[in-house]
Structure 1
Amino acid sequence: MLDRLVRRSERTGFRPSRLKQVLTISENLAPGLREYCREVWGAPIVDTYSTREAGYLALQCPDAEHYHLQSETVLVEILNSVGEACAPGEIGRVIVTALHNLAMPLLRYDVGDYAEAGEPCPCGRGLPVIRCILGRRQNMLRLPSGGERWPLLSSGDIGKLVALAPIRQYQFAQTHRDRIEVRLRVGRPLTDDEARVIVDWAHAKFGGAFRIELTFPAELSRTASGKFEDFISLL
């Protein structure tokens, strides 16, 4: 929703003159949105990571863009595939033990999210760090060979895709084990060269074994709760 607001603001020329910061919650923060919001509105984004079951899990550090786990109220573990704590830079499951829910305790509850563990923060707060939240396991990329991995759309190269054509919004859907649908909302019809470059980008991102199909729906799908996901798996 913030992305839509900022884009409309840029088109209309409206600028919220007294805005100091933008608080985001619920969905994963799209790559490039921090810079875009700062450029158009002149305000930084402050993101929050929370769940319905355990409340606030992590708050963005005031001095950086990573997140401090709220260890005073919740124990959060980032565990790898064999159940060991992830080292900084590793991606693992988010396991939560809420310390404030006495009516229905949740002990080592798997919330279904994956996150990347971070280095200790020099800000002096001393709370554990996660660098970014990647999303739910069901949205992992299933490979034709039988394995699976994160599509990693939060990495910096997604900005290259948006720069290739007048793309207003994008979504990737894995419809078959060997097929990915690139759903785009665009400002105008793409040229053949632009479409070809986007397909090449998708092959480089996901792998040459996938068949890439471009579609141009009027609206992009959301979850039942209203959240938007940039990558969805229909397998």
Structure 2
Amino acid sequence: MNSSSVFQKIDCMLWMRIHRLPQVFAQRWQLRELQRAVAYAYKEVPLYRKLFDKQGVAPSDVRTLDDVRRLPITSKQLFRRHPLEETTAAAFPGKIVWKETSGSTGEPFRFPSSYVHYLMRRFGPVGIGARTIAFMAWGNILPVEMFQRLRIAEIRVHCEPRFKHFLHIPVSDLRKRPETVVPRLKEFAPDLLNAHATILVELARLAHRFSPEERPHIPYMISHGEVLTRTQRNYIREVFGAEPYNRYGLEEVGSVAIDCENHTGGHIHEESFIVEILDEADRPLPEGETGRIVITYFYNDVMPIIRYDTGDQGVVASGPCACGVPARRILVDGRKGGFLTIGSRRFNNVEFEVLLGRMSDNILRYQVAKVAPDAVLLRIIPVDRFREEDLAFVRERFREEFGFAPEIKIVDDIAYAAGGKGRFITDETSEKS
């Protein structure tokens, strides 16, 4: 084996294990990858060259991890305002995969991705094997030796088979043919089920109608695309006997973090990302303070993602995790973007998410609906029966936080979007006009 192959093998081993090494190793790795990504973006992508020049910063100015703060912040809106020839590397030689965001907070964003090409080019000579793929997908939650025989099920709108044993259930089946979903999962017997949090909750509510013997036993469930609340996690665990894990990610970059068995925040994939928490003036916030989540992703060479404002709110947890993994943890509060104007005040979707997600152990799903210029209807699907004192408590908390008390209606069903995400706020006055 020549020296180049030895280096690539060591490089690959570090990439797979960096999240389990002391932070000093992770930070050195991140600095090296940041410098490479910044130099590449400046050289190959016209928009980044223009942004860096305007900011008065050059790739050679990135000498420490803190220097990432000198770089300009980008966003989905910024990329949309420029043609592809400015936001992408024109001479990119590898295979490009086109992806699209769901558009749940506005217009869908279509973009090219090349991370698989980059990783294969970098680590291909030593093999992208089961260990690497398992780590990429689930952060080492599952034993690696199981990977080749894993049975994977996903409930999504569109899904291409990516594993040897794979079951795709369209989201529409849960809505239109719900009686078929639980038996299909029971017959397939997946080791892991992947779906939006809302879909996992609705699946659990559906399975609750079946006897325990008729329900599928699914060892692992991974929620993505939405915040999985403690109440939802407990309900899913009770129905299926499965341990639900929450994965934080974006369509633009894939999985950013995944939680461990302690569920005290998602461990960041620090081999692939730098995650910053910033205030509204773009100043960094310390651990424990909530702000905007801004990420830098190292491995999309066709359209680099550097200091990308995700539109999400979150906090980096302080202190080490009891599981022993030293990678930093992030707790996501929700996505900014949806607003309701009640009277003369404007409320962000995330304000309702934070209050309702942490306020009650009995709220399984909810929807805040504006039904008149100054009136709100709060629909709730509870885990158990709501008592009058529970309703009074919710109304009082709304009055304290937002200055109004909603009408509350206990319901059996709340419609969700075609893609499977919950509709947490809705303006029904605009729908009537």
Normalization by structure 2: what TM-score? 0.44
Task: Name the count of aligned residue pairs.
Answer: 221
The match for 1:170 is 366
Greater fraction of residues in strand: 1
Counterparts of 1:18 and 1:213 in 2: how far apart (Å)? 39
More helix, by proportion:
2
**What corresponds to 1:227 in structure 2?**
421
User: C-alpha separation between the residues in 2 aligned to 1:176 and 1:115?
Assistant: 31
- Asked if the contact 1:54–1:96 (Cα under 8 Å) also holds between the matched residues in 2, the reply is no
Residue 6 of structure 1, CA deviation: 1.8
1:120/1:129 contact within 8 Å kept: no
Give the superposed CA RMSD. 3.2
What do the CA deviations read for 1:13-39 (whole angstroms, capped 9, x no partner)? 235464322222222213312222222
2:204 aligned with 1:12: no
- Residue in structure 1 matched with residue 307 of structure 2 by the alignment: 108
Partner residue in 1 for 2:395: 203
Change (3 A) 1:82 1:32: same
Asked if the contact 2:217–2:242 (Cα under 8 Å) also holds between the matched residues in 1, the reply is no
1:184–1:217 Cα contact (<8 Å) kept: yes
**Contact residue 366 and residue 381 of structure 2 kept, 8 A:** yes
* Percent of aligned pairs with the same amino acid: 26
Give yes or no for contact 1:76–1:94 (8 Å, CA) kept in 2.
yes
Deviation at 1:199, TM superposition (A): 4.6
Does the aligned pair in 1 maintain the 2:227–2:246 contact within 8 Å?
Answer: no
CA distance in 2 between counterparts of 1:59 and 1:169 reads 22
Q: What is the alpha-carbon distance in structure 2 between the residues aligned to residue 19 and residue 74 of structure 1?
A: 30
More off after superposition, 134-143 vs 200-209? 134-143
Match of 1:99 in 2: 298
Where does structure 1 lack aligned partners over 5 or more consecutive residues?
A: 163-167
Show the 5 A alignment for 1:40-55: 40-55=239-254
**Take 1:88 and 1:140, find their aligned partners in 2: how far apart are those partners?**
27
**1:1-235 paired onto structure 2 within 5 Å:** 1-15=199-213, 16=215, 18-122=217-321, 123-130=323-330, 132-139=331-338, 146=345, 150-151=351-352, 152=354, 153-155=356-358, 157-160=359-362, 162=363, 169-174=365-370, 178-184=374-380, 194=387, 197=389, 199-207=391-399, 209-215=403-409, 219-223=413-417, 225-229=419-423, 231-232=424-425, 234=427
2:135 equivalent in structure 1: none
Supply the distance in 1 between the matched residues of 2:305 and 2:287 (Cα, whole angstroms): 26
Deviation at 1:79, TM superposition (A): 1.3
- Asked if 2 retains the 8 angstrom alpha-carbon contact of 1:112 and 1:136, the reply is yes
Residue-by-residue CA offset, 1:60-92 (whole Å, 9 max, x unaligned): 134544211112112211112332233333211
Which whole-Å CA distance do the structure 2 matches of 1:186 and 1:34 have between them?
14
SS of the aligned residue for 2:306 comes to coil
The amino acid across from 2:318 in the alignment is: E
1:33-70 alpha-carbon deviations (Å, 9 max, x no partner)? 22222223222111111101111111113454421111
The answer to whether the Cα contact below 8 Å between 1:138 and 1:233 also exists between their aligned partners in 2 is: no
CA distance in 2, matches of 1:71, 1:211: 43
CA distance in 1, matches of 2:276, 2:336: 16
**Is the contact between residue 396 and residue 405 of structure 2 (CA under 8 Å) also seen in structure 1?**
no
Describe the SS at the equivalent of 2:230: coil
**In the superposition, relative to structure 1, how do residues 31 and 176 fare at CA in structure 2: closer, same or farther (>3 Å)?**
farther
Q: Distance in 2 between matches of 1:216 and 1:148?
A: 23
- Alignment partner of 1:200: what SS? helix
Q: Computing the radius of gyration over CA atoms, which structure comes out larger, 1 or 2?
A: 2
